[in-house]
Amino acid sequence: MRYRFTDNFWFGCAESATQTEGFCAAGGKTPSNWDHAFKSSPHRFFNQTGPEETRGFWQNYREDIQLMRETGINSYRTSLSWTRLMPDGYHLDEAAAAGYRDIILCLKEAGIEPVITLMHFDLPFLMQQKGGWLSAQVVDAFVRYAETCFDQFGDLVSHWITFNEPIVPVEGGYLYDFHYPFKRDFASAARAAFNTQLAHARAVNLFHERRYAGKIGIVLNLTPSYPRSEHPADVYAAEIADLFFNKSFLEPSLNGRYPEKLIALLKHYDQLPVVSEDDLQIIAHARVDMLGVNYYHPRRVQARQTAINPASPFMPDWFFDAYEMPGRIMNTSRGWEIYPQGIYDILTDLRLNYGNIPVFISENGMGVENEERWIEAGQVNDAYRIDFIRQHLIAVHQAINEGSHCFGYHCWTFIDNWSWLNGYKNRYGLYRLDLKNMQRTPKASAQWYAALIKNNGLN
C-alpha cells in the first residue's frame, strides 16, 4: 500500500540547545540548572557525562545544516538557550543573538523551516536561585525573555514554541527526583506546574497582542493512559493518570481551563494551589495556534493493588499502579513499549475532543543502546529505527485520512545527541556521532528518511 502525504507536509527532526550546543563558557553563557546539576551531582549522570561538551552544534551548525539539506529535511525544531542569549537572565548578549540569527538564516537558506522553542528544560541557574518555577519573579523574567526572542528573531521565525514537555520538569524536579532540584513534594510540583502554565499563557498573549507574524504553540508529551481492563476500577485508574500527566497541561493550553475532575480531586486531598482569579483569566485568554505532540510510548495502568498509607506524602501514584501488558513489544534498551496505535489515538482524540487543532508530531523516535553491534561496512544498520518510524508514520497517515489536522512529523533526532541523565547511553540519531572525533556518519535510517522525503511517502 502507498502512503502519500500532502505536498507541504513537514518531514523534519527535533533537537534542543542544551543537548547539542555544549557549554561554550567562553561565549559568555552562564550555567543552566543542568550545568549546576552535573557539577553538584555528577553521580546521577550516566558515565558521569554532563552537558558541557555535547556535539558542538554551536561551532559546527553550518556543516550539520548542510547534512540536513542533503537529507531533504524541510523543517527543524530546536531551542534557544536563555542562559546563552541573556547570560544574566535579563539583558541580551549581542554576540549570542548574532550567532542564533546566523543559525536561523542558515536553516532558511537551506530551505529548512525553523521551529524555535523558548524553553526546553534548561532554566538559567540564576533563575533557579530565585526559586525557579515556584517563583512569580521567574515567570516575569520568562515573559521578558520571550519578548526579547520575538523582537530579535521574529522577522525570520514563523513558528514558535513556548515550552517543550512542561510536565517533565514538574515530574522530574518535584515529584520523582530525576531533574534538578531533585525533590519529592506534590505541593511544589503543583505550584511549578501552574506557574509554568501561566508563563506560557502570558507569552502567548503577548505574541498575539503585539501581532507578531507567524504562529505560536506548545509541545506536550502526550502519553495515552490505557486501563488493564474494562473494569470500572481500572478505567478510573487510567482516567486519573490521564488527568495528572496529560490533561493537566493539555486542557489549559487548548481550552483555557483546568479539568473540573482534577480540581475536585486536588481540593478533596487539600493539594490545590492557591491562585488568583487574574492569573486564571490570563490562562483562559491564551489560545495556541498549533500544538506539538511528543510521543514515544503508552502508559498502561491498573487499579491500585495495595492500600496507601494515609500518612505518606500525597502522590499521583495513590490512584493507580503500572501494568505490564502480556505480549507487549518492547524497546529493551529504553524500557519503553513500542505501540504505534498510541499516536493514532492521540491525533484522533485531538480531532474529536479539542477542535481538531493544527498539530504536528514534534518528537518521535527510538533510542538504542550499544548501536556499534549493528555496524556493517562502517554504517549502523538500524533497521529497528526504520521500522519504528515507518509504523508510526502509517498510524499518522491513518489519522490524517480520517480528518486529523496533522501537518508534520519530526523524528528525534538528526544526529546522536547528549540526553540529560542518560548521556549517550541510548542513541536516537539518523546520523551516528563518533565521540572520539565528533565525526558524523549516516545510519541506514538517514538514507531511508531521505528517500521517504523525496517520495513524500512510503510503501
Question: Cα-Cα-Cα-Cα dihedral of 436, 437, 442, 446, to 10°?
Answer: 80
Per annotation, catalytic residue among 15, 165, 171, 371: 165
The three three-digit cell numbers of residue 54, written as one number: 555535547
- Computed from CA positions of residues 124, 130, 136, 140, in that sequence, does the dihedral angle turn out positive or negative? negative
459 residues of the chain, pLDDT tens digit each? 789 999 999 999 999 999 999 865 557 899 999 999 999 999 999 999 999 878 889 999 999 999 999 999 999 999 999 999 999 999 999 999 999 999 999 999 999 999 999 999 999 999 999 999 999 999 999 999 999 999 999 999 999 999 999 999 999 999 999 999 999 999 999 999 999 999 999 999 999 999 999 999 999 999 999 999 999 999 999 999 999 999 999 999 999 999 999 999 999 999 999 999 999 999 999 999 999 999 999 999 999 999 999 899 999 999 999 999 999 999 988 889 999 999 999 999 999 999 999 999 999 999 999 999 999 999 999 999 999 999 999 999 999 999 999 999 999 999 999 999 999 999 999 999 999 999 999 999 999 999 999 999 998
pLDDT tens digits, one per residue of 422-458: 999 999 999 999 999 999 999 999 999 999 999 999 9
C-alpha distances (whole Å) from 292 to each of 23, 109, 267 are 27, 24, 30
What is the residue whose three cell numbers read 490505557? 226
Tell me how far CA of residue 41 lies from CA of 48, 169, 421, 442, in angstroms.
Answer: 9, 17, 11, 34
21 a catalytic residue: no
pLDDT of 459 reads 84
Full domain range(s) for residue 24: 3-458
**Number of domains within the chain:** 1
Whether 251 is catalytic: no
Q: Which three cell numbers stand for residue 207?
A: 505574541
- Type of residue numbered 180: Y
Task: Tell me: cis bond preceding 30? Omega within 30 of 0 counts.
Answer: no
Spot the catalytic one: 15, 251, 363, 371: 363
Q: How far apart are CA 431 and CA 413, in angstroms?
A: 9
Q: How many CB atoms lie within 10 A of CB 233?
A: 13
The span from the CA of 55 to the CA of 18, in Å, is 10
Read off the CATH number of the domain in which 145 is found: 3.20.20.80
Closest to 384 (Cα-Cα) out of 419, 334, 434: 334
| The pLDDT of residue 5 | 96
